[in-house]
Structure 1
Amino acid sequence: MPILLILFIFIPLGEIFLLIEIGQVIGALATIALCLLTAGLGAALLRQQGLQTLARARQNLDRGMAPAMELLEGVALLVGGALLLTPGFVTDSLGLICLVPPTRHALVRLALARLEVQYGPAGPPPGAHNSSRGHTPDVIEGEFERRDDDHPDQR
């Protein structure tokens, strides 16, 4: 089974199980209030962390550096915010992991370790054929001379 299908089946089932168990212990209204409280706290944390990440990205751009780490942290914040808006304690826990700076940095470093990053200008590598622009890797140098007197219609 694909991993996303497994996640879409087992995470909601885990959420339902936890909501029922916690609701039996503290009551239904307290469980709903706790879900709303975690969503509100998560939204406040998301706003604060998002503004800090944006400020760091701006500082890097002002220094002439690419804000690569901040962009990846922004993706983690986006995922964390979406998870916090999803009702339930499992998704709230995963969302908080994405929002808290030490765990978010660890997640980004883990993602970077698994990705292959290439640096350099955009476009094909040097010497590659780019047919959309009509460039060819083989260049023939030479000289030419236009002679209008060879054409009879231009006399």
Structure 2
Amino acid sequence: MGKLFLLFVGLSLLELTVMIQVGTVIGALPTVILIVLTAMIGSSLVRSQGLKTLMEAQQRMQVGEMPARELMGGMMLALAGLLLIVPGFVTDLLGLLLLLPPLRSRLADKLVKGVRVQGAMGSFQSQGPYSPSSQLREESSTIIEGEFERKDKE
């Protein structure tokens, strides 16, 4: 908890320092306009890339694969949106970096590798012999035929 507080205070002080420096160079009103403009442009970029990521995740789910990379990318897009909305140039720079698809996919790959997922089929690693797609293949190879009768409780 203490580290998070220090990070928040440190980032706030850094943002204020950079805003004051930029304000002395270009003026107060252009600085405010620039901060608002980056928030507007960033939110539209996050929206468009978020829709693309959502469509990619749906395609992966349709073929029976777990969209872990897309989910991680979506979380990073949400973080990018938050960073772009927060007033300041440092957070805007960090948010814009997270909007770059090559950097985001590299980070997503690193974060997904070794993530342990708990699903309906039990616990499995995101990659390897216990991935969701391999478990689906194993389960689909065994066919059990039978009849059933539904009895609703009244």
Task: Quickly name the TM-score band, shorter chain normalised.
Answer: 0.7 to 0.9
1:46 counterpart = 2:46: yes
Quickly say closer, same or farther: Cα 1:12–1:30, change in 2 above 3 A.
same
CA distance in 2, matches of 1:102, 1:118: 25
Structure 2 unaligned blocks of 5 or more: 125-154
CA distance in 2, matches of 1:58, 1:123: 22
Which residue of structure 1 aligns with residue 12 of structure 2?
A: 12
SS at match of 1:44: helix
TM-score in terms of structure 2 length = 0.73
Structure (1 or 2) with the greater strand fraction: 2
Q: How does 1:43-122 map to 2 (within 5 A)?
A: 43-113=43-113, 115-117=114-116, 122=121
Q: Give per-residue Cα distances to partners, 1:82-108, cap 9 Å, x unaligned.
A: 111100001111111222211111221
> Which stretch shifts more, 66-75 or 94-103?
94-103
Q: Deviation of residue 118 (structure 1)?
A: 5.2
Give the total of aligned pairs. Answer: 124
* Structure number with larger C-alpha Rg: 1
Q: Give per-residue Cα distances to partners, 1:12-42, cap 9 Å, x unaligned.
A: 0000000000000000000011101111110
Which amino acid in 2 is paired with 1:12?
A: S
Structure 1 unaligned blocks of 5 or more: 126-155
Q: Give per-residue Cα distances to partners, 1:17-69, cap 9 Å, x unaligned.
A: 00000000000000011101111110111011001000101111111111111
CA distance in 2, matches of 1:124, 1:98: 30
Quickly say closer, same or farther: Cα 1:118–1:61, change in 2 above 3 A.
closer
Quickly say closer, same or farther: Cα 1:32–1:58, change in 2 above 3 A.
same
Quickly say closer, same or farther: Cα 1:43–1:75, change in 2 above 3 A.
same
CA distance in 1, matches of 2:76, 2:65: 21
The answer on whether the counterparts of 2:42 and 2:81 sit within 8 Å (CA) in structure 1 is yes
